[in-house]
Each structure stands twice: as C-alpha cells, then as structure tokens.
Amino acid sequence: MEFSALQIATILHGEVVGNPDAVVSGLAKIEEGTSGTLSFLSNPKYEEYIYTTGASICIVNKTFEPIKDLPQSLTLVKVDDAYACFAKLLDVYNQMRQKQPKIEQPSFVADSAQVGEGLYLGAFAYISDGAKIGKNVKIYPHVFIGDGVTIGDDTIIHAVVKIYADCVVGARCVLHAGVVIGSDGFGFAPDENGVFSKVPQIGNVILEDDVEVGANATIDCATMGSTILRKGVKIDNLVHLAHNVEIGSHSALAAQVGVAGSAKIGKHVMVGGQAGISGHLHIADGTKIVAQSGIPNTVKKADTLMGSPGIPIEDFKKSYFGFRKLPFLLNKINELEQKVKLLSKTEE
C-alpha cells in the first residue's frame, strides 16, 4: 500500500516541503529509514538522524528548521504535532489493513444467533445459540463465541479468543489473540477432611465500550453477578482478573498483573507489571501502583504505592535507603559487641 507526500499532508493537514509526489510503502524509525519508508521526528534528541536518514518522507513539527543540509531524497511533511500526527497516520494505516466483510468457510453460525451487517468471520470461528453480534464486527479464525454472548458494534476479536456463555463485550473493544473471557473463577470449598468441592460459577463478564485486552489475558466470570471492566479500561498481555473483580473506567493494568476475587479498582488507576492486588479490597480513584508491588489492604486515598506491602513511594525510598545500609550497620554492631567484650574482660 503506497502513500504520496501530498496524500499524507492532506490526511494530517500538513505542508509538504520537497517532492509532493514522493511515495512510501512502509514505516521506519528515523535512524533506520530506507528508501520508500516514512518516519517522523518529534524528540530533539533524534534530530541528528534526520541529516543522514534514508527515509523518503519524514513528518516534522512546523517549528523544525534544519541547521544543515538534508538528504536530497528526503521530503518533509510539516505539521503542528509530529508525534500525534504520526500516531494518527498509523491508525489510518491500521484501519486500511483490517479485514473486509466476509464469512470464511468452514465456520459456524447458530440459527438463533443474530449477526449485524459488515461482519468479518474467519475460518473455524464458532458463534453459538442466542449470540448477538453488532455491526462491523471482526472475528478472526478459531474464535469461540458462547451461548447468549453479546458483542457491540466495531469490536475486533483476534484469533483463538474464547468468550464463555452470557458474557457482554461492548462497542469498539479489542480482544487480542488467546484472550479468555468468562472462564470459571477459582471457587472451591474444603470439607471437614480438607477435600475441595467446586463452587459453581454462574455469573458473567461485562466489558463496557472501548476496552482493550492484551494477548493471553484471562478474565474470570463472577460467582454470581458480574466481573466488570468499565469504559476505556486497558489490559496488557498475561493479566489475570479473578471472579467479581471490578475495574473502574480508564484504568490501565500492565503485563502479568494479578487481581484477586472481588477487588474493586477505581477510575484512572495505573498498575505496573507483575503487581498483585489482594481480594475484597478497594483501590481509590487515581492510584498508581509501581511494578512488582503487592497491595494487601484497601487504599482509601490516591497515592503512588511501591513495595510489598505497598506503601507511599517516598516512604519506600527512605525505607530502601535504610535497608541498603543494614550490612554496614550490622558490621558496626559486631564491632561494638567486640569492644564491649574487651572492656568487660579489662574490668574483671
């Protein structure tokens, strides 16, 4: 797929400096640009590369003025915000790469399922009884949609995703490869002999609009009621959310985060990779949790937490400074003990 400098400038409302007919068919970082690729410059730290780049077109800020000669093969597209415009162009490019409406074979759609117009259904996908699929949904190969599942308009479900019965996925959601929505929560009750019996998990999962879930993440259904991800939540790869968890709108959880059952996470919360959150607690709106932290108690007021158990980051830094001094302090204590012993012998 090719774009000319003029086409790019038109999309981005920018200005062409150089050859408006210059054509690109790929993307590259400015330091790795080659003929036929498009790059961008927004961070001044990378300006040196624009004077040697092999890229054919580079998106730059309108304020950019070269301090030496640019490559003759390079055309500039000047815009208000190079980074934002490059991101916009990536989105346009990504949209153009999306699958066109089509139902590939072999695939299965139950007679009682309702399918909206503009559906792309990949080979070996399965849509069960009573499912409701909105308009312009893209369902890639080997996806399983369970009984009574609802999927909103413009949602993209990548290959090998499994959505269990009665779950709800909103509009404009993206589920990446291997995601499992609605698997049983970890519910087991020991008897008097310590033998575990399974507690039936009869709830569902609700993803509101504009939720994105990374590859191989698992979101368990509720024991009763719903596990809920509110509007705009972003979940990274390999995250596990247990039964009856609720994530507030526009919160983001990085890779390998684990959230135990019935925890309630507020709005605009950010959780770093490999952090663990205990069950049946609440995390205040706006809280930030540093990677690998452990949160065992309710957080009532927004703060940045670090460590296990998580404490305010400034307190953690002070504690860590003290921890690093422990070997020195232990040596000092040993020295003092030896001196005390010598003094004791002298007095005897």
DSSP 172: T
Strands 23-24 and 3-4: antiparallel
The residue assigned the tokens 């232990």 is 330
Active site residues: 243
Q: Are 270 and 302 in contact (CB under 8 A)?
A: no
Sorted by sequence, the CB contacts under 8 Å of residue 31 that are 6+ apart come out as: 46, 49, 53
How many Cα neighbours within 13 Å face the side chain of 334?
A: 6
Length of the chain counted residue by residue:
348
Q: Sign of dihedral through CA atoms 77, 79, 82, 86?
A: negative
Note the helical H segments in the chain. 5-12, 47-50, 82-97, 313-324, 326-347
The residue assigned the tokens 């957080």 is 299
Nearest residue to 233 (alpha-carbon basis) of 174, 288, 290, 283? 174
Cis status, amide bond into 106, omega within 30 of 0: yes
Burial of 175 (0-12, 13-18, 19+ CB in 10 A): buried
